[in-house]
A and B are shown apart, each in its own frame.
Chain A
Amino acid sequence: MIAEVGLALLWLAAALAALQLVVGALALRPEGRALAGLVRPVAVMQGLLVMGAFAALVMLFVTTDLSVKLVVDNSHSAKPLIFKIAGTWGNHEGSMLLWVTIMAVAGAFVALIERRLDEATLTATLAGQAFISLGFYVFLLIASNPFARLAQPADEGQGLNPLLQDIGLAFHPPTLYVGYVGLSIAFSFAIGALVTRNVGPAFARAMRPWVLGAWIFLTLGITAGSYWAYYTLGWGGWWFWDPVENASLMPWLAATALLHSVSVLQSRDALRAWTVMLGVVAFSMSMVGTFLVRSGILTSVHAFAVDPQRGAFILALLAIDIGGALALFTLRAGTVTEGKRFGLVSREAALVFNNVMLSGILGIVLIGTLYPLLTEAYGVKVSVGAPYFNPAAGMFAFPMFVVMAVGPLLRWRQDRLSGARSGRRLWPLAVCLALVLAVLVGVELTAHGIALLPALGLSVAPGLLLASLLPLRGRNLRRTPLPVWGMVVAHAGIAVALFGMASESAFSVERLAALSIGEAREVGPWRVSLDGMMPVAGPNWTALEANVTTRYAGGTPVQLHPRAETFTNPPGTRNESALETRWNGQLYVVLGEQAEDGRWQMRFWWKPFVPLIWLGGALVGLGGALALLGRVMSDIRRLVAKDKIAWRRMRQGR
């Protein structure tokens, strides 16, 4: 019953999306203007309906309804509740439903609260949003119905991959999806503005919080995903340049560029066409990423052929949405003027430079991710990984870091770096530069055999951190606006993460050891000993748990308990690593299998400053949140002030 209700709700939502598109398109013509009032309520209703459909699917998973195919394939009655719920989006159909749900809810949200944009552009935006959603509804209803029933109910479900039975699954995919789909709003805004030829500061002001919000979620989603991979996969790696990771990185890069160019558009009315273009590109990257992942084409071109209907559908959707948007952009780009000009030494110029660098990294990641597909089509399988991505992306990243350090200190429009008064701004930068050079020399002298990129990262990071704090210099910290704090925190976060990455790559100590009970080993500054082994049981797994005593540099002992877990539904194993975090790094302990001689295979890593990677990511997200809070508060203040003025006028008029 629940499944049928869910399916019906989904059909209704799809119908409303069609209505929203048609009414929105008609309302843009002079003769259809009367219909304009219909668009907002329809968008809200569509959001509510699809939320109902999603809730129905969650219910099916919670109650483990074994007559529904999706539940049987991906769930099991003996799973903990949280993983039953999270299992809803741990599969193709469910995650596509989550995608349209977030998309429709975001559309409803825009329809409810967006008042800054002129009505025509908003109507066009909502029509654009409906157009994209409609494609996904059709995809869901025709090619991946999540509510399909089995002719014969199964006795038990197949269960969920043990690697996914982690709290990470409950948060990571929804966070990323909110980010991806938030960018769909930016995309629709761009389309709306192109249709009504209304690209300017007002448009930028309306679009900015959405971009910022999506970007915060993307940042946090990627950071959390990286940490999840780090502690679950059991080999201490935190980024693999895996196509699935790249699929989330690409929208982030585009969104970061968009975020900065939309700020230029808002405050300086420059970079109009570029901003709109980035709005289109950012969401296109979300779609390319999600669909490449979901279609299975990335593991192999042949996996794509397994289900040609889905594959073809996906390609068609991509072509229609992205191609359509780009065609519209080309048609209208001529009428969107570039906006105000600016000098070579100015904050806009720095932002433009970094926009181009971010796009460069995006290009590298895109090409490196797609290239193996291309060669496979010619019958040659190649792999592209860190040895390609790191130097190629670094080529763009390091100049970007330099400009990022200087940019926030420059004035808008036109700045001069010569003359009497600029010395005051230049000497702190000279200090940063000296710091970078000092660290670089220090690293080269003391630590031999460090590769170029980690050495550069280690030396640039402290200078960048210091430079990112400089915009606060000479300000009254209490009166500094929140968005400025946001920028400072986010830029500092980049420096912190960079330091963590470089340190992890330069200084990690790896120790693989077969230990018998009572044996000890040195791991960098740590001494670890295997004290005992104990069987433990969880709700749907059994495990062996090692008792490992660790001491940092002869200090107080700390007990760690890495586990080797065995799952039965579906059968599988998982190595649950144990981590001990200190201010200067993390000890990573994994329990492997028992060797033939009875000793235990154990893996240890001492990774100096590795938590800074995720701390940095969290800081970047926090910076975004501060900026968003500042913007929303000033918007609210402006609205309140407007209301007050209107009220006073009304009173005086009486």
Chain B
Amino acid sequence: MPGVKKYDAIVIGGGHNGLTAAAYLSRAGKKVLVLERRYVLGGAAVTEEIFSGFKFSVCSYVVSLMKPNVMRELMLPKFGLELLPLESTFTPLDNDYLIRTADADETYREIARHCLRDAETYMRFGPLMGQIGMAVRPILETIAPNAIRPSLSDLSKAKKLLDHFKTLSSEQFEYLTKLMTMSSADFLDEWFEFEPLKASMSASGIIGTFMGPRSPGSAYVMLHHYMGDIDGAFRAWGFQRGGTGAVSMAIARSAEHFGAEIMTEAPVEKIIVKNGKAVGVVLENGDEYKSEMVISGLDPKLTFLKMVDESDLPSNFVTDIKNFRIRGSSGKVNLALDGLPNFTCLPGEGHHLRGAISISPSYDHLEQAYDDAKYGDFSQAPYMDIILPSVLDPEMAPPGKHVMSCFVQYAPYDIKGGWNEQKREAFGDAVVNTIARYAPNIKDIILHRQVLTPADLESTFGLTEGNIFHGELTLQQLFAMRPAVKWADYSTPIKNYYQCGSGTHPGGGITGSPGEMAAKKILGIWS
């Protein structure tokens, strides 16, 4: 009976980080309840059959940053984690194309077709970025210190990191400094000449961020995307069989295996705070659940401005959270297709359909797309990162049919006049028209179109302002500042109330990392 049962911990939100935290706590013997507002688990890492027979990775669509120790410790392969390789990145151009594959010889030859020197530089660039990614890894794997009043253990953590940075080579240090400060376009200009190559590489510096490739700070976001590894290979992206929802389900099954209870269609109204301490939650239907600790997997805005009363929080903290930048910059268009898109520049089927398709012919294309958004409109010709999940996993669509996932940037949350039905469809049209420029048959094969604007991402998935990372990955919002100074170690100003979403260190993407580290922090307090 609700209200009677007492839990050690309640996790608000059955997204992949909430589930990860729940799994770790259960694994340590704690009695855990996960409360998910929707009918389905996964949050933004969710698979849904929006159109009969067609499964969509509705929001989040690829996996690369999932931490290997999380996969191992939660035994995710046993519970259904199956990552298929995304083989290539294909950039269609008006009369030509650029394709980068997993094979060094093939990629060298292809880039050399456009620019011989770039082909050679490319072979050095990847390993170098991998090394720098590895150099930054220890930061990602450290619980952020309290930068204002460091504890003893914070100081020893800081010392360890400093010692680590002393081991970097001068070359690594130089590039790390540049990556932390430059725009991705400026950084890449130091290396490469061929514009479509640079533009496609710079695109990982703008994903989920309200910046253009020429905005300072975008180089860091690019590095963030280089830190992923699958099976020890840096910079490898994978597609989860069954869509990203299957990743969440694997974590959920692991959590249940360890004893966690998971409830769907159980929207939380408020945290119950007594004497400055979280003691449980009340659902929208009035049911109450008591627990020793409450952990929010929601973004910082919801965690602090919706789940609790401002009056329960220090006012400067409330200001920090209000200032936390969470501007949505992207939308998602999911298409059910009667066949495969046929690209004019590379007709027919082939490797190029088994990986990412990047609509990024030039910096100007990306920057102009950003310009539209800067002044309150969606991009007329957006940047897109497209994949065809059904090519990798035939079970995503009926035989011979396909699903196409288009991550679209930019779509500002604060669009002039607000989002409405008409604007959503106009945005969908802009996406289809942009694809049609390279694959004209697309218009004839669309069976169903799902268009998600930032407003939809907010209302459906609880992503404030539609930001896919629970807050932008810009320097002032990272590490000891994520989401707010003094409260970057998963604790909050309210006793026994913790946070574990992407709005905490080390940030967004399907990593399991915030969930894991929050759980480990909480377990440390418990013991």
Do A and B form a real pair?
Answer: no
Using a CB–CB distance below 8 Å, which chain B residues touch chain A?
none
Using a CB–CB distance below 8 Å, which chain A residues touch chain B?
none
